[in-house]
A and B are shown apart, each in its own frame.
Chain A
Amino acid sequence: MIGLLILGVYVAIFTVSFLVVRFFLRRSVQDYTSLKTVTFGDESAVTSNRIASIVSVATIFLIWGSFTGSDWVPGFLHAPGPFVGDTSFTYTLETEDGARDDATVSVRVFDFGETAEKFTVEEGEGIAKNDAVAMSASRSTTILFDRNDEVKRSEGARVVAIDGVEIGDSGSIKTAAGRFALTDKGAISFAPPRGLQMEPIWLPPPEAVVGRAIEISNEGYRDSTLWKHLGYSLFRVIAGFFFGALLGIPLGYAMGLSNWFRGWFEPIVEFMRPVPPLALIPLVIIWFGIGESGKIILLFLASLWIMAISARAGVSGVNISKVHAAYSLGASKFQIMRYVIMPNSLPEIFTGARVAMGVCWGTVVAAELVAASEGAGMMIMVASKFQLTDIVLMGIILIGVIGFAIDILMSKAENLLVPWKGRS
């Protein structure tokens, strides 16, 4: 239900913001694209709408904050929260011989994170006595109402109505106070209104995640600060990718330049390429243990084949006219390698490097999830075992941000180092 509601809110924001931008913020710039009449189907006329991107990210945080009761989202935008505070209800007790008596149960519901402190009330007169119950928000509690009553359940007493509403052995009833049901043994099960907000244990509000990030970056988690965890992961990726490229690129060149090398390594490369690096984790752990070397070897294997294949593609992709021209200009084989084949293969190698870095980053997190004593993956894995959802979320967000940053850096480096890519 909540899922459908969130989806509905999301679609509504999408549609409303689209209509607002469409009708109230018309572009005043008269550039070439704005003068095109055919834009549907013209890919070049489709650009990423900045406003849409900003609203999209803001919407995610808004929904996140709203359904977690975040302090960052103004109160009126909050989804209804769970009931917190004092409430009470009356139950009607009937003994075996048909005598009835009412008693009041005072319930004090404590907010998330507070401890439910016990309290007492006046017991009152009659067979049934008043009770006091302390509980946490969004939970249900089983109330053993007859502990102080004169006739107990074991002596035939049972609850027949709550707040005047008849209640049977099966099924539940709903009153202003909340939802009631009787357990198999006749105790009252009571759940105050839960509202629509998520419990922090499922989804903490954004400020809790940020707070946890600050806390961990200062004090650390599992003997390492946040930066150390992320640094370990990054170091493994860079080291694994470095060795993968160091061996993979020359291997790819050799496969692109020599029949024998191609014939020798093709079965190996073609076999290893479709094997997901994640499938190698168990074997790598068996062979090399869970230390640094094992992880770097895993990432080395993850990037090796990608780099070899991209370097081979780079050699195959060289226009034969360029090689012929270089020979006619008197270049030696070594010079052709150095001045024609290597620079010509750079665009392909960069494409491969971007893919390899992405795969390595995904693989290192997975490898750390399995076994590690530090690292981003290890951090979220251990946190999940202790239900520290805020650390898990923080870890996922940081892993995403770093992966994104790696890709942007690689593409910037590509623009800088191979400006001729796609323009020859």
Chain B
Amino acid sequence: MATLSIENISMRFDLPNGTHVQALKDVSLELQTGELLSVLGPSGCGKTTLLNIVAGFLAPTEGRIELNGHVVTGPNAERGMVFQQGALFEWMDVRGNVSFGPRMKGQTEPEWAGHVDHLLDVTGLGDFKDKAIYELSGGMQQRVALARCLANDPDVILMDEPLGALDALTREKMQGLVLKLWKETGKTIILITHSVEEAVLLGERLLVMAPRPGRIHKEYNLPFADMGVDADLREVKHAEGYADTREEILEMIWDMEEEIMGRTEDTQ
């Protein structure tokens, strides 16, 4: 079993004025293959830092990440990343973007064409594959980003607020797409989000993080992602327990934000 284990990660940035910021403190977590983990938390709780460490863009000051039994030291094709926006290559068309990973591995078009075209169809981009990136809407661009990541067949997909820049309606549609692709491909996914609703809806496991220092505050195991795979996401929102969980987490984060504000006022 391919597992991702995050072992005692701490992250400390030294500032020029002699003080330091403890972005993450002693974060540990284990993820089994095919799990979808959503991560929530107030701003400054280190969730993006954690994702960057898992991706290999940042080296933690303490602790380590292990994937499939070996230690992560830098970015590679095992861990794909979907960014909020701006990460597509405008100088390639849609198909060029989606086939980027396979092409970098040296595959020829006949080798990747079937897989890539299938993914284009699944993500609803079949009719847009020759379009330039700047001709697409924001939602379409995020479909390309998802397809590009999947085309490379990574073990873990890391999503950094992938739907954050979309409008509410497009966002709902894309949430359905994420669930569908998750079920179809069986990938391990870590989803960072600001939206409590999205985290509860999509996260099979949900992690609430607390700031200063960034740490795991509470973890949930939720049934809604599995329900959403086959049903309409709008109906899942009426499922038993959904509203309660959402309110509970909202309140939790609300309190954390209040506390931060209070602390800031104290120091003033």
Instruction: Please report A residues at the B interface, Cβ cutoff 8 Å.
Output: 319, 321-322, 324-332, 335, 339-340, 343-344, 346, 418-420, 423-424
Contact = CB atoms under 8 A, between A and B. Distances in A.
Interface of B: 55-57, 74-77, 79-81, 83-91, 100-101, 104-105, 132-134, 145, 148-149, 152, 154, 158
A328 B133 CA distance: 20
A61 B154 CA distance: 69
Nearest to B134: A423
Given A339-B100, A344-B91, A419-B132, A328 B55 contact: yes
A135 B202 CA distance: 100
A419 B93 CA distance: 12
23 contacts: A321-B85, A325-B87, A325-B145, A326-B100, A327-B76, A328-B77, A328-B80, A328-B81, A328-B149, A328-B152, A329-B80, A329-B152, A330-B76, A330-B77, A331-B104, A332-B104, A339-B100, A339-B104, A344-B91, A420-B90, A420-B91, A420-B132, A424-B90
Given A325-B83, A340-B89, A424 B133 contact: yes
A329 B100 contact: yes
Most chain A CB within 10 A, of B74, B76, B89, B101, is at B89
A325 B91 contact: no
B83 A324 contact: yes
A330 B155 CA distance: 13
A272 to B, nearest CB: 31
Contacts of B91: 343-344, 346, 418, 420
A330 B105 contact: yes
Contacts of A419: 132, 134
A346 B57 CA distance: 26
Contact of B87 (A321, A346, A418, A423): A321
Contacts of A423: 90, 134
Nearest to B104: A331
Contact of B86 (A319, A326, A327): A319
B43 to A, nearest CB: 19
A346 B89 CA distance: 13
For the complex of A and B, 10 pairs with smallest distance between CB atoms: A330-B77, A420-B90, A321-B87, A327-B75, A423-B134, A343-B91, A329-B101, A328-B81, A325-B87, A321-B83
A332 B86 CA distance: 20
Nearest to A336: B104
Contacts of B84: 321
A185 B224 CA distance: 116
Contacts of A418: 91
Contacts of A330: 76-77, 101, 104-105, 152
A420 B96 CA distance: 15
Given A325-B145, A329-B80, A329-B148, 14 more contacts: A319-B87, A321-B86, A322-B87, A324-B57, A325-B83, A327-B74, A327-B76, A328-B79, A328-B154, A339-B100, A344-B91, A419-B132, A420-B90, A420-B132
Contact of A324 (B55, B90, B134): B55
Contacts of B75: 324, 327-328
A423 B88 CA distance: 12
Contacts of B56: 327
A299 to B, nearest CB: 30
A284 to B, nearest CB: 38
Given A321-B86, A321-B87, A424-B134, A329 B104 contact: yes
A242 to B, nearest CB: 23
Given A324-B81, A340-B89, A420 B134 contact: yes
Contacts of A329: 77, 80, 100-101, 104, 148-149, 152
Contacts of B154: 328
A328 B86 contact: no
B98 to A, nearest CB: 10
B86 A424 contact: yes
Contacts of B81: 324-325, 328
A327 B149 CA distance: 12
Contact of B104 (A319, A335, A344, A346): A335
A344 B158 CA distance: 24
Contacts of A344: 91
B79 A322 contact: no
A16 B84 CA distance: 56
A272 B233 CA distance: 62
Nearest to A418: B91
Contacts of A339: 89, 100, 104
Contacts of A340: 89
Contacts of B101: 329-330
A332 B152 CA distance: 14
A410 B57 CA distance: 38
Nearest to A420: B90
Contacts of A321: 83-87
A25 B185 CA distance: 65
B82 to A, nearest CB: 8
Contacts of B87: 319, 321-322, 324-325
Nearest to A424: B90
Contacts of B152: 328-330
Given A420-B90, A420-B91, A424-B86, A328 B76 contact: yes
Nearest to B105: A330
